[in-house]
Chains A and B, each alone.
Chain A
Amino acid sequence: MSGEAQTVNPVAPPTGKPTRAGIRLPGVGESLNKGLVVTYLGLIVLLPLAAIATKAFEDGFGGFWDAVSSPQAFAALKLTVIASLIVVVINAIMGTLIAWVLVRDEFRGKGFVNSVIDLPFALPTIVASLTLLVVYGKDSPVGINIAFTQTAVVVALLFVTLPFVVRAVQPLLLSLDRDMESAAESLGAGKVRIFWRIIFPNLAPGIATGVALAFARALGEFGSLVLISGNVPFKTEVSSVFIRGQIESDNLVGASAVSVVLLATSLLLLACVTLAQRWGLRHDR
């Protein structure tokens, strides 16, 4: 059922006031809806976040800066951010590709493949780490040994962020209106053109969402890296391990400070992605 607009003049509903249905949960007023959402977010997310932010600046801005600019913290942040960026670029491409294949293609075992996409989420990270070490370490059954290198960090991150872009693009592909594609094809447009001009713009929000989530997750990932990345300071130590070290040394201010930086980086990417989307929308018209 495509969204064809009705051309009849709207008639006021018998109950008088417009209910703005479809805009909120039924039975719940719009302001109550907003209130519930805000309260939930506030309680679950904002409160702990505020605690971290407060801790990070407990020693003033100077203390914050010292903690974040120490050589080891900086090295960890650099490795983390760069690895995460590489990971999201790969995910954007491969995630879309996988979602495409899962929705549009048919082959034996597709159901199985679709089912296992989410497993990186459900597996405790220690198991993920152990498994990656077995598969890509010294005794690798496929002869690939990348343990304790920076490549290992990227591979582990790819593993845990796999579902994000795939699952964000799949629902969009499923909800896609095929009429426009058929129309374009019958007018002689090539497949690539159809993809870029018609399909991709509809998938872009999903890809953007998936990328933002994957980036955030990659920044903070800890458990799956423990066995395969090596954790050597300045070489293969990511920020989350560094934070753990700070906590172990009772330096909660340092731990909170680096966390705030990670958070800010992730929000920065989110902002960029949102802006890019808006820019894309504006330029399409």
Chain B
Amino acid sequence: MKSNSKKNRLNRFKVQGLLVFALVAFAAIIAGCGSSSDSDSGSKIALVAYSTPQTAYEDGIEPGFQGTDEGDGIDFSNSFGASGDQSRAVEAGQKADYVNFALETDVTRLVDAGKVADTWRDNKYKGIVTNSVVSLVVRPGNPEGIESFQDLIDKDVEVVTPNPFTSGGARWNIMAIYGAAINEGASPKEALDSVKAVLAKTPAQPESARVALQAFVGGAGDVLISYENEAIAAQTAGEDVEYVIPDDTILIEQPAAVTIDAAQSAQDFLDYNWTDAGQQIWQEQGYRSVNPALLDKEKFPVPSGLFTIEDFGGWDKVATDFFDEENGSIAKINQELGVEAE
């Protein structure tokens, strides 16, 4: 019996030891990883961006910057994801020195949260580092003969567009349809009807642009509303996609900014984007230069009826008027379509 109780005590220690070990390991992980970032601020830039320009940054802009005097010896930690998710992450405390998003409201969120100075737009290009345009991706050979947003309504086609409520970037698409109608002389009410007519023909509204492209390539719909840089990236990667730039379409403006606590190197990096060298790299990657003198008009034809979000009052106004999930015009359209579908 005595040996039993000794064994008992030993076994008790074994189990408790195991539990303690597990807890200690857990704690060690937490402690160890708390300081994962370099404290040598200035030699590493924490870049947080939306998902599309990943290749552009990793293969083009970052090496380009590292080749300059200011960029010599500077390292990057890269984070890419859906624009809204990334913006919210930075708002919730994710370390970021340089941010680049798909639309302005994702930067405004950070301004409101005190992470980005409200002077971020006070430069020559108003904080926009790259441009693109909303374009129509069609089947090879364009069998339906799609040329404009009006064709989407007139022709018997199925349309795929990312869901503008789960993907902020997809809001560009909606405003493109709206603005194209306005350009053709429609009243705001008629233009909204055009949007509604297009949305009524969508068998799929995937949650992001890339997923929408994949769905389209996988057989969904006859035409995909997407961004020119997305289509070019797909083509470069070997996907068999063909795209059309309508005469009336919206200019996509992709903003970038540095955070308030960022080191000078981040600002240097931001400035690099606007140098001729930087803008050329962006163009090679499929983005339109924001510098009109540098714009490669052969690769990037300028639509005759190009308009911008400013024509509708800027994103702050549009986000409220159109995309407020209760009272926005688009939300109302969704409801009407939903009721009609019953």
Contact = CB atoms under 8 A, between A and B. Distances in A.
A244 interface: yes
Contacts of B218: 130, 133-134, 137-139, 147, 227
Interface string B185-214: 000000000000000001111110001001
Contacts of A148: 203-204, 220
Interface string A26-54: 11100000001000000000000000000
A75 B338 contact: yes
B334 to A, nearest CB: 5
Contacts of B166: 231, 241, 244-245, 248
Contact of A248 (B11, B168, B331): B168
Nearest to A149: B203
A71 interface: yes
B338 A227 contact: no
The interface residues of chain A, by DSSP majority, are classed as: loop
A251 B323 CA distance: 12
Nearest to A233: B334
B341 A27 contact: no
A156 to B, nearest CB: 13
B214 A227 contact: yes
A contact residues, range: 35 or more
B15 A241 contact: no
Interface residues of B, number: 40
Contacts of A250: 109
A244 B207 contact: yes
A254 B204 CA distance: 24
A105 B106 CA distance: 57
Interface of A: 14-15, 25-28, 36, 70-72, 75, 130, 133-134, 137-139, 145, 147-148, 226-227, 230-237, 241, 244-251, 254
21 contacts: A27-B13, A27-B15, A28-B12, A72-B325, A72-B331, A72-B335, A72-B338, A130-B214, A133-B219, A139-B219, A145-B219, A147-B219, A226-B206, A226-B207, A227-B215, A230-B204, A230-B220, A232-B204, A236-B204, A249-B323, A249-B324
